[in-house]
């Protein structure tokens, strides 16, 4: 077919509506008075945020949202309603100083809307703290996650993402037969599919998916009982197997949609291109080539962030554990294990970069064919062999387990030859596993663009055999580290909270002095 199918027509209409909303917002912002941020501390705040983000190693598109959540978490801990009623202005000042938003870019109406959201969520926070039937940490997380996402959307709206989400949801709802996903009800399927698309295609965190679902179902924090009930359902969904099953399917089949999303983000002429099949497919193929180039730049930047994360974390652990242990157990610092533990994981990560390559033309051709079917064909249902993963004999699982033990045993033997103690070996395993998992995440950035899996060569076979056991261990540690990020807690309590409190007092004192000067006649 050369004409758009129903999904193609819907995505075109959605993009046009998103462009109209975006243009109207920009025009209104251009005509509105902007809030100008002045004062001291901008350079220090920006430098601290770079350090803080390196310690947390968060995806770039989540940095603004996470900074907002930290701001309100510290504010709610103080439990001062007066500060909450001023939070819109204070947040904009901090985000501007930190470099998340440019100066003179936020209108007073946006600040008022932020403050209103903060007050609504603070009221809910106070009420939930008094409910003995709900875990306080859990309810606080609900409130802060929802608030941070909503405020981030107010500061930096993404109308095109809404159009893309609607497109992806409609496509996968038709492409994935309901019976392909086991143990699911209709209601659960819809919510699970929505979360899976957020996780696989938007790279959203749980907070973004949670806020999106609450908005989708019209749940407000002002209706507290409903807010609690839906959040409990969302928690069960995020921890369930249905979401994981759908995530794997969407992730495997998501490469062409990721390319379409980039086109929607970067090109204004997509609605016109969609009307001409051959022209759109040619533009799509050109976008694929651009993404191949861009992905390597993103990987290089991600490696730099990961190396900084490893060095900062290792430096703190070395001071807190390794050096004191050496002085206690050996009476002196053992420099060889210390230096190896410090430099080997970052160097290993950099070396992993040379094993990563962009997909070939066969993948490009398959992407073009898939998007052609997606937007211009009457049939969009994926066949069973595309949906399901491969099935392997239990023998392979046993061999994998045995090879993992061999890899771990060989590593321990080499470290013992280098005079590592058990503590040094544990620290090496921790950081080498973390580096392996971070490197695996980099390889997934390339797989996000693959619909035809590239064949392994000798180098990648050896790499995967050796580092896959450490990847599994690194993922487990990453999940635990994300729950209790010791480095982030130290930075928050010892640096960020007192530092930003002092800056806030300095700004208030400066405003007071200016007011006193104005009164002198």
Using one digit for the tens of pLDDT, what is the confidence trace for 189-200?
888 899 999 999
| Cα distances (Å, whole numbers) of residue 234 to 8, 153, 209, 413, 478 | 31, 21, 9, 46, 22
Return the pLDDT at 440. 83
Sign of CA dihedral 456, 459, 461, 463: negative
Return the pLDDT at 183. 58
For residue 475, give both structure tokens.
Answer: 């993922």
Q: Are 97 and 37 in contact (CB under 8 A)?
A: yes
In which region does residue 57 sit, left (phi positive, over 0), alpha (psi from -120 to 50) or beta (all else)?
left
For residue 282, give both structure tokens.
Answer: 């040619």
Q: Distance (Å, rounded) from C-alpha 274 to C-alpha 97?
A: 41
Greater confidence (133 vs 89) lies with 89
Q: How many CA atoms lie within 13 A of 182 on its CB side?
A: 4
Contact residues for 366 (Cβ-Cβ < 8 A; gap 6+):
451, 452
Return the pLDDT at 151. 95
Return the pLDDT at 47. 63
pLDDT band at 256 (very low <50, low <70, confident <90, very high): very high
The 3 state secondary structure assigned to 95-130 is: HHHHCCCCCCCCCHHHHHHHHHHHHHHHHHHHHHHC
Return the pLDDT at 230. 94
Identify the CA nearest to 439 among candidates 352, 332, 327, 317: 352
Return the pLDDT at 482. 53
Hey, which of 101-110, 194-203, 427-436 has the most confident mean pLDDT? Answer: 194-203
Q: Are 379 and 174 in contact (CB under 8 A)?
A: no
Identify the CA nearest to 281 among candidates 378, 366, 362: 366
Q: Distance (Å, rounded) from C-alpha 195 to C-alpha 206?
A: 8
pLDDT band at 372 (very low <50, low <70, confident <90, very high): very high
pLDDT > 60? residue 55: no
| Cα distances (Å, whole numbers) of residue 439 to 296, 404, 446, 462 | 13, 18, 12, 15
Reduce the DSSP state of residue 331 to 3 states and report it. Answer: coil
Greater confidence (49 vs 118) lies with 118
Q: Are 454 and 373 in contact (CB under 8 A)?
A: no
Return the pLDDT at 463. 67
Ranking 68-77, 359-368, 439-448 by mean pLDDT, the lowest is: 439-448
Greater confidence (185 vs 504) lies with 504
pLDDT band at 513 (very low <50, low <70, confident <90, very high): low
The whole model's pTM is what? Answer: 0.78
- Encode pLDDT of 310-327 as tens digits: 777 767 766 677 778 888
Q: What is the mean pLDDT of the chain?
A: 82
Residue % of the chain over a pLDDT of 70: 79
């Amino acid at each position: 077919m050369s004409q758009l199918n129903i999904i193609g027509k819907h995505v075109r209409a959605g993009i046009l509506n998103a462009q109209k909303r975006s243009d109207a917002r920009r025009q209104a912002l251009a005509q509105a008075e902007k809030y100008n941020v002045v004062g001291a501390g901008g350079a220090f705040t920006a430098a601290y945020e770079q350090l803080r983000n390196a310690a947390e190693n968060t995806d770039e598109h989540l940095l603004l949202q996470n900074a907002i959540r930290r701001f309100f978490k510290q504010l709610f801990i103080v439990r001062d309603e007066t500060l909450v009623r001023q939070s819109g202005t204070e947040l904009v000042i901090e985000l501007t100083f930190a470099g998340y938003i440019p100066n003179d870019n936020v209108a007073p109406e946006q600040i008022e809307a932020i403050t209103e959201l903060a007050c609504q969520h603070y009221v809910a926070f106070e009420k939930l703290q008094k409910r003995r039937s709900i875990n306080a940490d859990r309810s606080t997380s609900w409130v802060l996650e929802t608030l941070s996402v909503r405020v981030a959307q107010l500061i930096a709206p993404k109308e095109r993402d809404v159009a893309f989400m609607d497109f992806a949801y409609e496509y996968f709802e038709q492409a994935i037969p309901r019976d392909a996903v086991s143990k699911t009800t209709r209601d659960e399927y819809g919510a699970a599919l929505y979360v899976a698309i957020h996780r696989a295609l938007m790279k959203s965190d749980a907070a973004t998916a949670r806020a999106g679902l609450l908005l989708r179902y019209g749940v407000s924090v002002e209706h507290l009982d409903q807010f609690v009930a839906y959040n409990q359902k969302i928690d069960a969904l995020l921890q369930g197997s249905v979401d994981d099953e759908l995530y794997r399917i969407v992730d495997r089949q998501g490469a062409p949609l990721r390319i379409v999303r980039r086109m929607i983000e970067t090109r204004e002429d997509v609605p016109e291109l969609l009307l001409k099949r051959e022209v759109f497919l040619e533009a799509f193929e050109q976008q694929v080539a651009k993404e191949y180039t861009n992905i390597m730049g993103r990987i290089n930047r991600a490696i730099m962030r990961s190396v900084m994360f490893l060095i900062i974390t290792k430096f703190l652990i070395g001071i807190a554990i390794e050096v004191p242990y050496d002085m206690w157990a050996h009476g002196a610092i053992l420099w060889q294990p210390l230096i190896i533990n410090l430099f080997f994981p970052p160097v290993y990560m950099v070396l992993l970069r040379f094993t990563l390559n962009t997909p070939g033309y066969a993948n490009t051709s398959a992407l073009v064919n898939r998007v052609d079917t997606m937007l211009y064909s009457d049939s969009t249902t994926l066949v069973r062999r595309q949906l399901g993963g491969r099935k392997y004999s239990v023998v392979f699982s046993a061999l994998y387990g045995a090879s993992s033990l061999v890899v771990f045993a060989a590593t321990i033997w080499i470290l013992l030859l280098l005079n590592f103690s058990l503590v040094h070996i544990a620290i090496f395993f921790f950081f080498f596993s973390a580096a392996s998992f971070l490197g695996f995440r980099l390889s997934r950035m390339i797989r996000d663009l693959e619909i035809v899996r590239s064949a392994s060569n000798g180098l990648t076979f050896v790499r995967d055999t050796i580092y896959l056991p450490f990847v599994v261990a690194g993922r487990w540690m990453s999940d635990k580290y994300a729950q209790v990020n010791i480095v982030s807690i130290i930075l928050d309590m010892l640096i960020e909270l007192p530092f930003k409190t002092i800056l806030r007092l300095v700004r208030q004192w400066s405003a007071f002095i200016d007011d006193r000067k104005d009164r002198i006649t």
